[in-house]
Amino acid sequence: MSLTLYLHPLASFCHKVLIALYENGTPFTAEIVDLGNPDSARQVTDRWPVGKIPVLEDKARNRVIPETSIIIEYLERHYPGLAKLLPDEAEAALDTRLWDRFFDQYVQVPMQKIVVDRIRPSGTTDAHGVAEARNTLRTAYAMIDGQLAGRDWAVGDSFTLTDCAAAPGLFFAAIVEPFPAEYANLAAYFERLLARPSVNRALGEARPYFDMFPYRDAMPARFLAG
């Protein structure tokens, strides 16, 4: 098989790429990486020394592709399927990329700050940084709720790259910083994401690893049921 995705099943950024792959039924091999194990981590660092996952290797084209949005665009260009995750029209593509970056930078990144802080050694936690991250999430929730007014999906009328980014970010963010009750558009969108087969599959594959999640005690029961 030409494509190998180096990932961890609990990593939200890996879920983003998995969702894109599942949307199109793209064949690939998944290689689970434990970044805490030097031998396992070398699967990534030998290909992308920054050491961040996911990383896609395309043996047929002799390419290593890092960074989630770039991976998905690469797949769109070289391994297209029925799902068009990046619109052809220039302005629509620009909006898709904008909101993709928004979900990465203002949902996934602050969510990860909150999660990682919970497992930092005693005396090294960052209460101020966590408070800032929670503030960023609350601001993001308000903006997303406004963006979703009258929409089923984040940008345009169809499921796109942006929604691939939104699903895992919102899944974990809602656990560490629940959505305010007044954001009905956001709440309804979240349920649509959860019902999407590609999202459901990615989260289902992550479920056996949920015990490793630092906020496992705050996860709603419906996410824990197989």
Asked whether residue 128 falls in the same domain as residue 191, the answer is yes
Say if pTM beats, i.e. exceeds, 0.75. Answer: yes
Per-residue pLDDT at 226: 64
pLDDT reading at 1 higher than 90: no
- The enclosing domain of 211 has a CATH number of 1.20.1050.10
* Residues 13-52 pLDDT 10s: 999 999 999 999 999 999 999 998 999 999 999 999 999 9
Sign, CA torsion 63/69/73/76: positive
pLDDT, tens digit, 9 for 90 and up, residues 135-187:
999 999 999 999 999 999 999 899 999 999 999 999 999 999 999 999 999 99
73/147 same-domain check: no
Dihedral angle over CA of 75, 80, 83, 89, nearest 10: 90
Among 52, 78, 104, the domain-final residue is: 78
Q: Averaged over 198-221, what is the pLDDT?
A: 96
Structure tokens at 46: 């030998």
Q: How far apart are CA 153 and CA 193, in angstroms?
A: 9
Length of the chain: 226
For 61-96, give the secondary structure using H, E and C: CCEEEECHHHHHHHHHHHCCCCCCCCCCCHHHHHHH
**Within this chain, do residues 151 and 219 fall inside the same structural domain, yes or no?**
yes
CATH, residue 61? 3.40.30.10
Identify the domain containing residue 119 by its residue range.
Answer: 90-224
Number of domains in the chain: 2
What pLDDT score was predicted for residue 40?
A: 95
pLDDT, tens digit (0-9, with 9 covering 90-100), for 65-80: 999 999 999 999 999 9
Torsion of CA 154, 158, 161, 162, to 10 degrees: 0
